[in-house]
Amino acid sequence: MEQMVNVYFYGKKYQVPADLTIMTALEYAGYTLVRGVGCRHGFCGACTTIYRIKGKNELHTCLACQTQVQEGMYIARIPYFPTDKRTYSIEDLKANQEVMMSLYPEIYACIGCNACTKACTQSLKVMQYIAYAQRGDFKACAEESFDCVSCGCCSVRCPAGISHPMVGMLARRLNGKYLTPEAEHLNNRVAEINEGKFDEAMKDMMTKPIDEIKELYNTREIEK
């Protein structure tokens, strides 16, 4: 007999195996997931969930596909965690401090409470990368926010109403577009592709069985 724990989905009690994630426990309990489910491996940020433990008042945020159920866990999910995405063309922007003041002025209302960092499902230093964005240090902001999956947990907990994932995304776009030096070897490879240098190799690849393609990928020579 598997070890079972008592959990509560939307207020209703269920017994589920203790080794399940919240997402698989929901399915075990009979729920069909049509929203708030994506990659199932912690990369897409679609399965953001709120929970608390019975007898404790503190609310926790997590990714349902990565968080194991616990005894007495009260779980509630919403279709998505909204963030305020501004519309812009990266071609029309400049990598200066004014761009953040124009598009996301609310970052300057940050009170330094660090609730965003505490809520982050990826354990990122969210408040720190917002501070970099305030100073116009987009390279540092891009690096600090690189692993963000845009789940929105940080924004939900922010008293200043900052859309942290969108700020990080803008910083990464500005960094990639304007601050990072061009990779000459990449430009050369794109030119070779456009010239048709790899057309025959691609045709040959398309005829191979999937297991052989996987083996070729796993044993490939990685350029330094």
For residues 171 and 166, give the distance between their C-alpha atoms in angstroms, rounded to a whole number: 9
For residues 3 and 19, give the distance between their C-alpha atoms in angstroms, rounded to a whole number: 8
pLDDT digits 0-9 by tens, 76-94: 887 666 688 899 999 999 9
Exposure b/e, 62-75, CB count within 10 A at least 16 = b: bbbbbbebeeebbb
Q: Are 107 and 127 in contact (CB under 8 A)?
A: no
Q: Which of 79-88, 142-151, 156-165, 194-203 has the lowest mean pLDDT?
A: 79-88
Token digits of residue 9:
């989905």
Tell me the CATH architecture of domain 4-76: Roll (3.10)
Q: What torsion, rounded to 10 degrees, do the Cα atoms 23, 25, 29, 31 define?
A: 0
pLDDT digits 0-9 by tens, 175-192: 999 999 988 888 999 999
Please give the full DSSP string across 24-70, using - where no structure is assigned. HHHHHTT----SS-S-SSSSS-TTEEEEEETT----EEEETTT-B--
Name the residue ranges covered by the structural domains of the chain.
Answer: 4-76, 90-179, 184-218
| pLDDT mean over 21-37 | 91
pLDDT digits 0-9 by tens, 32-48: 988 888 888 888 888 88
